[in-house]
Amino acid sequence: MPQYENPWTIPNMLSMTRIGLAPVLGYLIIEEDFNIALGVFALAGLTDLLDGFIARNWANQKSALGSALDPLADKILISILYVSLTYADLIPVPLTYMIISRDVMLIAAVFYVRYRTLPTPRTLSKYFNPCYATARLKPTFISKVNTAVQLILVAASLAAPVFNYADSIYLQILWCFTAFTTAASAYSYYHYGRKTVQVIKGR
């Protein structure tokens, strides 16, 4: 049987806050308000640091939902940021396409895992009930590195028009490194597959 848990933890609320900040950031970037966008991005980054710290140090704040919600919030934030920064001509289209494609596949895999780990009879109410925990997700090491690199590139790209280094060769090197870690991350999930999912047996 799956484990029934409280989804309303502080880390989960912080992840939801990060999801809520994503469209705000996208709007600010499209409007080329990069100074405020940098500040909002710093706030989003703070929620990411805090939710991980709290979940690691307080056992009652750790949840199966959080193991999926935290990386999902990162992917939503990163996807909106990359599309917006590409629209603003600060990140190349092929790199954004690569990142979005990988994230769409991973999100689809999360929904599939949720379906497969639900006990029968599978119903929509069970599927979308956040209290009904069926599996924990464990990101690979290279995936964690990739997320960090992607966020570094976002920060550098947001700051580029503010500090006038949009044509820097170092940004172009960072584009290449981000593409490499994104490809390596996608392969790691393909290679390790089931090892990244821990099915909850219940207590």
Task: Name the average pLDDT for the chain.
Answer: 85
- C-alpha closest to that of 197 among 116, 130, 79: 116
Name 22's Cβ contacts closer than 8 Å, sequence gap at least 6.
44, 76, 77, 80, 81
- pLDDT for residue 84: 96
Global pTM?
A: 0.81
pLDDT over 90 (residue 131): no
* Of 134 and 103, more confident: 103
Count CA atoms closer than 13 A to 129's CA, side-chain side.
15
87 vs 8, which has greater pLDDT? 87
Higher-confidence residue of 18 and 193: namely 18
Q: Are the C-beta atoms of 19 and 76 separated by less than 8 Å?
A: yes
Task: List, in sequence order, every residue forming a beta bridge with 137; answer none if it has no partner.
Answer: 197
Closest CA to 118 of 138, 129, 134, 136: 134
- Residues contacting 62, CB < 8 A, separation 6+: 9, 11, 55, 56
For residue 2, the model assigns a pLDDT of 52
Q: What SS3 class is residue 171?
A: helix
pLDDT at 5: 63
Collect all residues with Cβ–Cβ distance below 8 Å to 48 and sequence separation of at least 6: 14, 18, 70, 73, 74
State residue 182's pLDDT score: 94
Choice between 201 and 51, residue whose per-residue pLDDT is larger: 51
On whether the CB atoms of residues 99 and 151 are closer than 8 A, the answer is no
How far apart (Å, rounded) are the C-alpha atoms in residues 22 and 27? 9
DSSP, res 129:
-
Nearest to 106 by CA among 134, 79, 72, 81: 72
For residue 139, which of 77, 71, 69, 74 has the smallest C-alpha distance?
71
Note the pLDDT tens digit of each residue in 46-68.
Answer: 988 888 788 777 777 777 677 77
Distance CA 118, CA 64 (A): 13
Give the pLDDT of residue 99.
Answer: 93
- Residue 49, pLDDT score: 86
pLDDT at 195: 72
Q: Mean pLDDT, to the nearest integer, of 69-76?
A: 85
Q: Determine the CATH number of domain 8-197.
A: 1.20.120.1760
